[in-house]
Amino acid sequence: MKDLFSALCLVAVLEGLFLFAAPLAWKRMAEQLLMLRSATLRTWGGAILLAGLTTLWWLRHT
């Protein structure tokens, strides 16, 4: 459970860092994401999810 909260805190830190360091670039990216089809976003989300889970598994088991 401690690892889960640590991971969520790290996500918050990274999100905050992006917003703090480059707010205009973040806004432009968000506008571009709104133009993409939902299926495209779902595909990319699934690919990133699988890459993250695979990397996490690899790091924990090596």
Q: What is the pLDDT of residue 50?
A: 97
8: left (phi over 0), alpha (psi -120 to 50) or beta: alpha
Q: What is the pLDDT of residue 54?
A: 95
Q: What is the pLDDT of residue 23?
A: 96
Please report, to the nearest 10 degrees, the dihedral formed by the alpha carbons of residues 7, 9, 48, 44 taken in order: 150
The token pair at 17 is 């860092």
pTM above 0.85, yes or no: no
pLDDT tens digits, 12-58: 999 999 999 999 999 999 999 999 999 999 999 999 999 999 998 99
Q: Is the pLDDT of residue 3 over 90?
A: no
What is the per-residue DSSP string for 33-49?
HHHS-HHHHHHHHHHHH
Report the percentage of the chain scoring pLDDT > 70: 100
